[in-house]
Amino acid sequence: MTQPLTPTQREASSEADAPSPAPSAATASPADPGNGGASPALTPTSATPHRRAGMWSRLGIQSKLLAMLLGVSIVSILATGLISYRLASTALTQAAKDKVIAVGDARLKQITAAEASLRTNTILNSTGIAQDAMRDFETGYQSLNRQPVAPADRAAVERYYQNVFVPNLAPHVNGEVAPPAFYPRSNAGWYLQAKYTAPFTDFDKAVENTDAGDGSAWSTAHAKYHPFFRNVTVQNGFEDVMLVDPDGNSVYTTYKGADLGVNLLNGAYRDSALATAIKDVFKANSVNAFAVVDYEAYAPSYNTPTIFGVSPIGVDGKLTGALVVQLPVDTINNTMTGKGTWATSGLGQSGEVYLVGPDHTMRSTSRILLQKPKEYRQLTIDNGTPAAVADAIVKEKNPILLQKVDSPSVSMALAGKTGTVTETDYLGRRVITAYAPLTVDGLTWSVLAQVDEDEALAPVTNLFRVLAAITIGAVLLITLLSTLLARAFTRPVKRLLTAVREVAGGNLAARVVPKGDDEFADLGLAFNDMATSLSTKQELLDEQTQENDRMVSTLMPENVARRYREGEQNIVEEHIDVSVVYGTIDGLDEGTRDRSAAESLVVLNEIVAVIDRAANKHGLEKVRTLRSGFSATCGLVVPRVDHVGRCLDFAKEVQRDVAMVGAQHGITLAIRAGIDSGPVTSGLVGGSAVYDLWGDSVNLAFRVQSDNQPGVYVTQTVYDTARDAVPFTEAGQFQTKTGPQQAWLLAEGEQS
């Protein structure tokens, strides 16, 4: 890459390129007339000043002009380019950092809002029905606990752990897994798992079972409350919901896993973070308490990284248990990834936002893992992750609790600091990272937003290349122009240059007054002819442009016409709530069959005028008018809340006025109009200036009237909107791609 010259290099270059001085008096020949044919004895002190003083003066004006233009221009370009590069480089670098910070802040706000919503939902769900359910489930649990375990029930549970639970858990555990370690330790636990867990091989089937039919008090409570908790689980996207009594017994779970009926405080899961959180919530002794359990490998979920929320259940200020919700990992991942919209969120081709826990492992997924798992595997192994861990991450598509992130930004965020840093990330890439702490309900995580350094600073690199190319090109161009200008004379060229600049600036009336009879005079005359020709062509072009703009404006809405005139070809717009009117003119062809073309055109023009007038009156946008019909919309260009009513008024007025036009010409004309509301798509079809609408609403507006008698027909959607204000009658059904749909006819008294 060409670098700017240093001052020393420029000085050396100027001296090397300077013209050789003419022979001085000290080296003149004896026959030099200026010396009278003699060779005077000149001392160095007298010769040197004379030679230096005369060097510039003996240069021709062409050389002087060339030297001045080149010197001033090159120095100015180099200085301006260097200053511009430094300023722009600083600004672009900061802009890249600001973009990463902005995206990180947005994700931080989103995840904080999601956690607040989760907290609210969990606390709300721990009141009301949950209080009654806690009482009834605990009563049923204690009743089962007083009964001995039937041998058949014990055998069924043991088979479940040996044949279902352990085979699913073993791949996620290092070493041997002994089924007895997970057996229930209470009579109620054996009984509940025998009736509600062991009969099923997967959770999705277990959750559908409402009543085991055993007649127990617990099953009675389950039949009563399970539909409610199942609905809470599904609607909130929870992985599971659990009720825990004050002694730590899991008296209910939605999905009936291995934690149903067990004691979470002194059983197989007593060392889990969930058990600690339950104890902390009970100690808080407040029904408004809430705790979030950081991710841990939870055995009943086959050691999948799991995060819990815990809220106490109480009646009259007394704690009667706790509501435990297993939080959805996808909610956190979707928030961090923007549901896969990294590029459109400002993160480019490499950026991502993710969470890191206090153990320096991930708490959300990785972009490159989702998009390029093979590349992720190789990069994480190259950066020090064991191959077995990398394979497990890729297999499960989940880096949570497995992918280590030991970058400085994590430590600073965990220390409560916020900022940006350029560092090496968890895959060994150089990135610009914005970091901030996330502290919610006892958890402290790091939020990191990063983008590859090369991508973030690509504008800076491109700027340097552009400035270097511009500098080289400008120097070459200035050298050429300076040489040409230095060879020119003075005034004629200046007059011509002034006139040329005026024309280039838009003054096509500029002219040159030729003086003399030489080539410059001829050039001036030729310039005047050219300026006259340009002026004439510009006038014609302006007229044509105005005409084209007017025609385009009649073919499409003004906002679309403006984009089309600006050169945009693929124009398409989505509209959420628009009413569409599709009308057919009955009787026009029969009534004008025996008339001349001119007479038929008169009738058609009057019909078009009636439609245009009604559209303007009621605020509709006419999309297309054909000989046999028309289409229009309301709410497309100007959003309107009453677009349905406007379309009905428009259709009624067109129906009345078209009939009047027909009566004036002795023709029986009638309108079949169809109206539907909903989303539509509009745009230029084929990239040409053909504006059209499409979508289900357009199709339904056409279908509802296509096979009917004259009248104003509406779909069920329009009827539901306007039925309280306008009377309708049923008009049969019409077929759509989703099946038959009811059509409604505007009442007879409303159609005139």
- Give residue 613's pLDDT: 93
Residue type, 476: L
Of residues 84 and 636, more confidence is placed in 636
In single-letter form, the type of residue at position 241 comes to V
Cβ atoms within 10 Å, residue 742: 14
pLDDT at 96: 65
**Mind listing the pLDDT tens digit for each residue in 344-385?**
878 888 888 999 999 999 988 998 999 999 999 999 999 999
Residue type, 566: E
325 within 8 A of 119, measured Cβ to Cβ: no
- Going by pLDDT thresholds of 50, 70 and 90, the confidence category of residue 551 is low
CB atoms within 10 A of CB 576: 9
- Bridge partners, 451 (sequence order): 432
pLDDT beyond 90 at 150: yes
Report d(CA 4, CA 85) in Å as an integer: 11
**Residue 552, pLDDT score:** 62
Query: What percentage of the chain exceeds 90 in pLDDT?
Result: 29
Q: Are strands 670-684 and 711-714 parallel, antiparallel or unpaired?
A: parallel
DSSP annotation string for 115-157:
HHHHHHHHHHHTSTHHHHHHHHHHHHHHHHHTSPPPHHHHHHH
Task: Cite the DSSP H helix spans in 364-490.
Answer: 367-371, 373-382, 387-396, 408-414, 453-456, 458-487
Given a cut of 50, is residue 11 above it in pLDDT?
no
Q: Are 575 and 655 in contact (CB under 8 A)?
A: no
pLDDT of 420-465, one tens digit each? 899 999 999 999 888 888 887 778 888 888 888 888 777 777 877 8
How do residues 681-722 score in pLDDT, each as one tens digit? 888 776 556 777 888 888 998 988 887 889 999 999 999 999
Kindly report the pTM of this predicted structure: 0.52
What phi and psi, each to the nearest 5 degrees, are found at residue 306?
-130, 145
pLDDT at 475: 78
pLDDT at 478 over 80: no
- Give me 571's structure tokens: 């124009």
Q: How far apart are CA 93 and CA 636, in angstroms?
A: 42
pLDDT at 495 over 90: no
pLDDT, one tens digit per residue, over 229-268 is: 999 888 888 889 999 999 999 999 999 999 999 999 998 8
**What is the SS3 assignment for 231-258?**
HHHHHHCCCEEEEECCCCEEEEECCCCC
Mutual angle of helices 7-17 and 61-125, in 10-degree steps = 150
3-state secondary structure of 688: coil
In whole angstroms, give the CA distance from residue 635 to residue 578.
Answer: 5
Report the C-alpha gap between 681 and 695 in whole angstroms: 6
User: How confident is the model at residue 554, as a pLDDT?
Assistant: 58
Q: Which CATH architecture has domain 570-750?
A: 2-Layer Sandwich (3.30)
Query: Which DSSP letter does residue 267 get?
Result: S
pLDDT for the residue numbered 463: 77
Instruction: Look at strands 318-326 and 240-244 and give their pairing.
Output: antiparallel
Summarize the confidence of residues 639-665 as an average pLDDT.
Answer: 92
**How many whole angstroms separate alpha carbon 100 and alpha carbon 448?**
9
63, 72, 53, 70: which is closest to 19 by C-alpha?
A: 63
Q: What is the pLDDT of residues 31-77, one digit of tens each?
A: 344 444 433 343 444 444 444 556 776 665 566 667 777 777 778 77
**In this predicted structure, what is the pLDDT of residue 18?**
39
Strands (E), 173-248: 240-244
Residue entry with tokens 């160095």: 44
For 660, the token pair is 């009047």
Please tell me the predicted confidence (pLDDT) of residue 45. Answer: 43
Determine the Cα–Cα distance for residues 647 and 389; give it in Å rounded to an integer.
Answer: 63
Comparing 126-327 with 570-750, is the CATH topology the same?
no
Structure tokens at 73: 């221009």
Topology adopted by domain 126-327: Beta-Lactamase (3.30.450)
Domain segments of the chain as ranges: 126-327, 570-750
Rounded Cα distance, 518 and 214, in Å: 119
Mean pLDDT of 500-526: 75
Count the neighbouring beta carbons within 10 Å of the beta carbon of residue 706: 13
What confidence category does residue 487 fall into, taking pLDDT thresholds of 50, 70 and 90?
low
Question: Which DSSP string corresponds to 395-430?
Answer: HHT--TTTSB---HHHHHHHTT--EEEEEE-TTS-E
pLDDT given for residue 44 in this prediction: 43
Average pLDDT, the chain: 81
Burial class (CB in 10 A: 0-12, 13-18, 19+), 212: middle
Which two tokens mark 558? 């003004």
Residue 115 and residue 109: Cα distance in Å, rounded? 10
Q: Please report, in angstroms and rounded to a whole number, the separation of the first and last CA atoms in the chain.
A: 79
